[in-house]
Amino acid sequence: MIDPDLLRARLADARERLDGAAVRAGRAAGSVELLLAGKYIGVDELPQVLEAGVERLGENRLQELQAKAAAAAGALSFDFIGHLQRRKVKAVLPLVRLIHSVDSPRLAAEIASRAEGGARVLVEVNIAREASKGGISPDDMDAFIDTVSELPDLRVGGLMVMPPATDEPDDSRRWFAEARELAARLADGSDSRHDFEDLSMGTSQDFLVAAEEGATIVRVGRGLIEPARVG
């Protein structure tokens, strides 16, 4: 079971370190959102999570998202950060602030067709061009943005990346820097409705490096949750 006092302390420590990383990069403290990954949290643990001061979770699966949204009864908001199937878009959209993982033109079109009043999304980029991962290759991003720009109800708000697994956080730096540069280039050359303001990148092992390289959202889970468990 999660101890809310321990989790609150872990979150405060992570927040302090995250702000330090942002300041080192010439940005303001508080400019990077810490999004807690919900896959490490059970529905029965939501009261402790709320007591610790958590306001938003990032969920990977529709079933978990639905269960937690129902249990939280409006006390939490949610992002969707996992692979999203087109047939689940209709159910996901009303429950989330932001989808981080748009990885195909067909998924983008489905979201646009289901979003009442339009949707702002992040595009998942396969930044290291790994055959084992989904996402849009950086080499294909210009064509992808051109295609989704034909969808009037969809706005690209930025990119989401997951670099190759590594035990050394600094190994991720080159990929985070490439994502930042890609977003800046796309913002300069794309339809003005796409803002490219958000970079969702960095997890428990490398979120400080991600913040130094321009992340606006870091997705942290196990590194905060597991040390806060007792019993």
Q: Assign residue 86 the CATH number of its domain.
A: 3.20.20.10
Range of the domain at 49: 4-228
Give the contacts of 209 (CB within 8 A, at least 6 positions apart).
21, 169, 170, 172, 173, 176, 202
Domain count, the chain: 1
Provide the token pair at 91: 């159910």
pTM recorded for the entire structure: 0.96
Provide the token pair at 148: 């989704």
The dihedral region occupied by 73, where left means phi > 0, alpha psi between -120 and 50, and beta the remainder, is left
For residue 128, count other CB atoms closer than 10 A to its CB: 17
Spatial distance between the Cα atoms of 102 and 82, rounded to a whole number of angstroms: 9
Question: What's the confidence (pLDDT) of residue 217?
Answer: 98
Q: What is the pLDDT of residues 196-222, one digit of tens each?
A: 999 999 999 999 999 999 999 999 998
Res. 117 pLDDT band, cuts 50 70 90: confident
The β-bridge relationship of strands 56-59 and 33-37 is: parallel
C-alpha to C-alpha distances, 199 to 79, 94, 101, 122, 123, nearest whole angstrom: 14, 22, 12, 8, 10
Q: What is the pLDDT of residues 1-48, one digit of tens each?
A: 999 999 999 999 999 999 999 999 999 999 999 999 999 999 999 999
Q: What is the pLDDT of residues 52-109, one digit of tens each?
A: 999 999 999 999 999 999 999 999 999 999 999 999 999 999 999 999 999 999 999 9
C-alpha to C-alpha distances, 227 to 167, 202, 230, nearest whole angstrom: 19, 19, 8
Q: Give the chain's mean pLDDT.
A: 96
